[in-house]
A and B are shown apart, each in its own frame.
Chain A
Amino acid sequence: MAVEHPVTVPSGDQTRIHNIGYRTYDGPRLGRSYATRSLYSQSLRGAYGLGRSVKSKVLPMLLFVVMCVPAAIMVAVAVATKAHDLPVDYTRYAIIMQAVISLYVASQAPQSVSRDLRFKTVPLYFSRPIETADYVRAKYAALASAMFILTAAPLIVLYVGALLAKLDFADQTKGFGQGLVSVALLSLLFAGIGLVIASVTPRRGFGIAAVIAVMTISYGAVSTLQAIADAQGSSSAVPWIGLFSPVTLIDGLQSAFLGANSAFPGAVGPSNGEGVVYVLAVLGLIAASYGLLMRRYKKVGL
């Protein structure tokens, strides 16, 4: 602190230590929406470990690679064999890779919110211009965007590959578009569920375990029940059971409206009428996640 005291120099001495002292800030203060955007970009970068330690980059980057490699292989095969179609539909890709996506959301949702709770950084945010809603929106948007990058990147690989293989342009573009809508909904749904679970606990480990449990156990249980229902001939129950896990929700929704082939047993997706229920369930869950997060952070405060 001795640095701060003005240094007196004998007159005539040419060497001088300039002490600039404290400088005030008169520049612009960009306010609430800028702060929210800053939090969004910081959280989005954080979801891939950017701006964090090397250790925290490993898992998200690895999962990203794991997501993209199969797409690259499929493209390579399609180009090499001069196939007339890609081996997998755009809409189907995320369903096949659902375990990787669940793992990603399980690892990054707690990273995004549990850390702020655990190290009590949240009060620092709320002592600044942003409000509770800004924080929730920035965090939700950031994780949903991160998941969209994760799920849309392989689709882009497939699409570019399909164009290189000179497959039918209109057909591929339509499939690609449907795929993007599907993964956008999936990103919003998974990010919402992941954040709600993670925001309850300041412990990262619990958060990861809880998200994995909800995502995979529900999927396992629902698929098993669907298989049993199908085997016992009551296949009309299959779509209704599908409402109870995030993965099958997206699967059902896209088979009803986005031209996807269902992964449900017997490949029978929900009809249009049942599909409406799926859409309502997905949108309802996204809205409920947002509402629960808002309620959660109203309480956190200082």
Chain B
Amino acid sequence: MIATESLSKRFPRVTALDRLSLDVGPGVTGLVGANGAGKSTMIKILLGLSPASEGRAEVLGLDVATKGAAIRERVGYMPEHDCLPPDVSATEFVVHMARMSGLPPTAARERTADTLRHVGLYEERYRPIGGYSTGMKQRVKLAQALVHDPQLVFLDEPTNGLDPVGRDDMLGLIRRIYTDFGISVLVTSHLLGELERTCDHVVVIDGGKLLRSSSTTDFTQTTTTLAVEVTDTDEHPDGTRAVREALQARGVEVLDSQSGLPGAGHILLLTAQGEETYDVVRDLVADLGLGLVRMEQRRHHISEVFTNEDEQRKEAVGHGS
């Protein structure tokens, strides 16, 4: 889908991308990096809108330097920022954008109706966009990127500004873009945690350099943390402690609970060794006769990857000297 070879982009003062070589296959790929890591620059180059200072890149087998227009016809792009005029309806706007992608008028209208339904916009699509919630606006932005049935979409921070439920909906939708629609996805985020559940492959960049590129299972194996909260009963006045002890008896590693946060004492953090851990927790809580309030994966901040990398690098340096 995407291949770059020692791709560099230098601005007079900053190096946005530094000899980045990547190979992205079909599926959902996450591009993770802190703000200013070079994610947006990368998308600009891949759309053929900004020439690379050095190196080469191909999207769908087309060279970005010479085949920009052909690439943009087959690729969708959802920007990070607001991009919707408030005084037109979602339908009108998406139809116009479909025609801008080269779809004939009738096809543009049909595809718009289909696409808006797929992203979950129904009756409200005839109302002006100005009155939409953030979640609905994100859906319209997504719809305009999908309306011309591209082979690949670039989604720039699609979960920005969404509440937890909206975030999960959007992530589910992104997953479906590949599994149901057959469109490959390159999605950027500064949160690794939300991408590891959605993506098949995650690429981490920092300061324009490739930090890590691996399939998501590699990440989850090392980083999944579960948060568990249970109720108290008469039998076990401190349910949390009972579970903690029972878990430790089973050999499950329980982390120190975060201090300082409200209700932190009631939340157990444990490292999941795989799918079995979920079953262990469930059975154990049921045996104790407690109610399971929540069991969820903790989101990891991208900085954790950097910290780990730094430690590994330090170790490597230590061994070297």
Chain A interface (Cβ < 8 Å from any Cβ of B)? 1, 3-4, 21-25, 27-32, 34-35, 38-39, 42, 51-53, 56, 115-116, 119-121, 123-131, 301-302
Contact A127 B49 (CB under 8 A): yes
Within 258-309 of B, Cβ neighbours of A (below 8 Å) are at none
Chain A residue with Cβ nearest B117: A3
Contact A302 B40 (CB under 8 A): yes
- Please tell me which one of the listed residues A1, A3, A120, A301 contacts residue B44 in the complex, with CB atoms under 8 A apart: A301
A contacts with B: majority SS: loop
Contact A127 B47 (CB under 8 A): yes
- Please tell me which one of the listed residues B70, B100, B117, B181 contacts residue A125 in the complex, with CB atoms under 8 A apart: B100
Contact A25 B148 (CB under 8 A): yes
Given contacts A22-B180, A27-B104, A123-B79, contact A301 B118 (CB under 8 A): no
- Please tell me which one of the listed residues B49, B81, B88, B128 contacts residue A126 in the complex, with CB atoms under 8 A apart: B49
Contact B83 A30 (CB under 8 A): no
Contact B118 A35 (CB under 8 A): no
Decide yes or no whether B163 CB sits under 8 A from chain A: no
B contacts with A: majority SS: mixed
In the bound complex, residues from chain B placing their C-beta under 8 Å from that of A56 are 87
Chain B interface (Cβ < 8 Å from any Cβ of A)? 40, 43-44, 47, 49-50, 69-70, 72-73, 75-77, 79, 81-88, 92, 96-97, 99-104, 107, 111, 114, 117-118, 120, 128, 144, 148-149, 169, 172-173, 176, 180-182
Given the complex of chains A and B, what is the CA–CA distance between A4 and B179 in angstroms?
Answer: 12
In the bound complex, residues from chain A placing their C-beta under 8 Å from that of B128 are 53
In the bound complex, residues from chain B placing their C-beta under 8 Å from that of A31 are 69, 73, 102
Contact A29 B180 (CB under 8 A): no
Given the complex of chains A and B, what is the CA–CA distance between A56 and B102 in angstroms?
Answer: 27
Contact B88 A52 (CB under 8 A): yes
4 other contacts beyond A29-B148, A128-B97, with CB at 8 A cut-off?
Answer: A31-B69, A120-B83, A129-B70, A130-B100
Contact A35 B85 (CB under 8 A): no
- Please tell me which one of the listed residues B77, B120, B180 contacts residue A124 in the complex, with CB atoms under 8 A apart: B77
Given the complex of chains A and B, what is the CA–CA distance between A25 and B181 in angstroms?
Answer: 11
Contact A38 B83 (CB under 8 A): no
Mind listing 19 A-B residue pairs with CB under 8 Å? A3-B117, A4-B176, A21-B180, A22-B118, A29-B101, A38-B100, A51-B88, A119-B86, A120-B79, A121-B83, A121-B84, A123-B77, A124-B100, A127-B77, A129-B69, A301-B50, A302-B44, A302-B49, A302-B79
- Please tell me which one of the listed residues A1, A25, A28, A124 contacts residue B169 in the complex, with CB atoms under 8 A apart: A1
In the bound complex, residues from chain A placing their C-beta under 8 Å from that of B100 are 35, 38-39, 124-125, 128, 130
Contact A121 B114 (CB under 8 A): no
In the bound complex, residues from chain B placing their C-beta under 8 Å from that of A129 are 69-70, 72-73, 101-102
Given the complex of chains A and B, what is the CA–CA distance between A116 and B107 in angstroms?
Answer: 25
Contact B82 A119 (CB under 8 A): yes
Minimum-distance CB pairs A-B, first 4: A25-B149, A127-B77, A38-B99, A29-B102
Given the complex of chains A and B, what is the CA–CA distance between A252 and B104 in angstroms?
Answer: 45
Given the complex of chains A and B, what is the CA–CA distance between A56 and B118 in angstroms?
Answer: 31
Given the complex of chains A and B, what is the CA–CA distance between A129 and B99 in angstroms?
Answer: 11
Q: How far is the CB of B77 from chain A (nearest CB, A)?
A: 4
Contact B149 A24 (CB under 8 A): yes
Given the complex of chains A and B, what is the CA–CA distance between A298 and B40 in angstroms?
Answer: 18
Contact B73 A29 (CB under 8 A): yes
Chain B residue with Cβ nearest A22: B181
Contact B83 A35 (CB under 8 A): no
Given contacts A1-B173, A52-B87, contact A127 B72 (CB under 8 A): yes
Given the complex of chains A and B, what is the CA–CA distance between A90 and B120 in angstroms?
Answer: 56
Given the complex of chains A and B, what is the CA–CA distance between A128 and B75 in angstroms?
Answer: 8
Contact B72 A30 (CB under 8 A): no
Q: How far is the CB of A137 from chain B (nearest CB, A)?
A: 14
Q: How far is the CB of A113 from chain B (nearest CB, A)?
A: 12
